[in-house]
Amino acid sequence: MATAFPVDENPGSDVPRCEIRAEVPVPIEAGGRTLTARMVTFSGLVDGREHLALVFGEELAPVPLVRLHSECLTGDVFGSGRCDCGPQLREATDRLADGGVLLYLRQEGRGIGLYNKLDAYVLQDQGLDTFEANRRLSFADDERDYRAAAQMLRALGVDGIRLLTNNPDKAAQLTASGIEVHDSVSTGVFLGAGNRRYIEAKVLHAGHRIALTEVAPA
Ligand SMILES: Nc1nc2c(ncn2[C@@H]2O[C@H](COP(=O)(O)OP(=O)(O)OP(=O)(O)O)[C@@H](O)[C@H]2O)c(=O)[nH]1
Ligand SMILES: [Zn+2]
């Protein structure tokens, strides 16, 4: 299929190549405007999942701003305040509106899936934090694997990025998969009535770059 993106001539990584399957222009609300983003799908992703890229702007910068957003149906779609995913997704599209890439990764529940995440919520309501609840369900703290994200970026002709995240594991895994992370740009901290413990747990268990003073009770 014809593509507007450059072909990656120099993969430089042992992560298998994948190809662009389709590109579709889609109107998106971002930065207070309605923009046309290109939605891009892929063939040959290493985990076989239906991940999606949203590309903003006509031409990508040599080192574009990129957000890896992990699917959160409860927060992204239904506006749940148990986490900060919905506000982070809207922040990301606003910041990318003038150019950049959002990878919408089908990694619901940090990779354990929606039903298991809801089981984890039951345990959290009994006092466990998000990571402890994962372990009680016999999962690792975080089951996400970003090799498919690296494949997607390379298929888009991107091998160096500025990464919008507070999570050091995203940068480490992309680097291991051959993507050069020039800079990690912090996302906002979206503290709400129901997500203080969730955000604190990310700092304590996963080393997220958020000052605990930003989430301390007033
Ligand atoms: N297992 C589990 N996953 C959760 C829970 N709450 C939200 N998630 C998932 O967590 C993922 C988002 O990850 P976060 O840890 O909030 O943030 P991050 O993506 O690691 O880091 P940033 O790039 O800084 O946003 C989404 O896939 C959510 O579905 C929970 O209680 N348990
Ligand atoms: Zn969420």
Look up residue 96 and give its two tokens.
């990318």
Coil/strand/helix, residue 24? strand
Under the banding of pLDDT at 50, 70 and 90, the label for residue 4 is low
Amino acid making up residue 122 = V
Closest-lying ligand 1 atom to the alpha carbon of residue 142: 1
Output the pTM of the full model.
0.93
How is residue 191 annotated by DSSP? -
Distance CA 201, CA 197 (A): 6
Rg (the chain; Cα; Å): 17
Look up residue 140 and give its two tokens.
């690792």
Closest-lying ligand 1 atom to the alpha carbon of residue 88: 25
Choosing among 3.40.50.10990, 3.40.1440.10, 3.40.605.10, 1.10.150.250, the CATH entry for 19-107+144-215 is: 3.40.50.10990
Tell how far the Cα of 6 is from the centroid of ligand 1, in angstroms.
Answer: 32
pLDDT tens digits, one per residue of 106-127: 999 999 999 999 999 999 999 9
How is residue 105 annotated by DSSP? E
pLDDT tens digits, one per residue of 122-161: 999 999 999 999 999 999 999 999 999 999 999 999 999 9
- In this prediction, the answer to ipTM > 0.85 reads yes
144 is a catalytic site residue = yes
* Whether 105 contacts 73, CB under 8 Å: no
- Which amino acid residue places its CA nearest to atom 23 of ligand 1? 165
142 is a catalytic site residue = yes
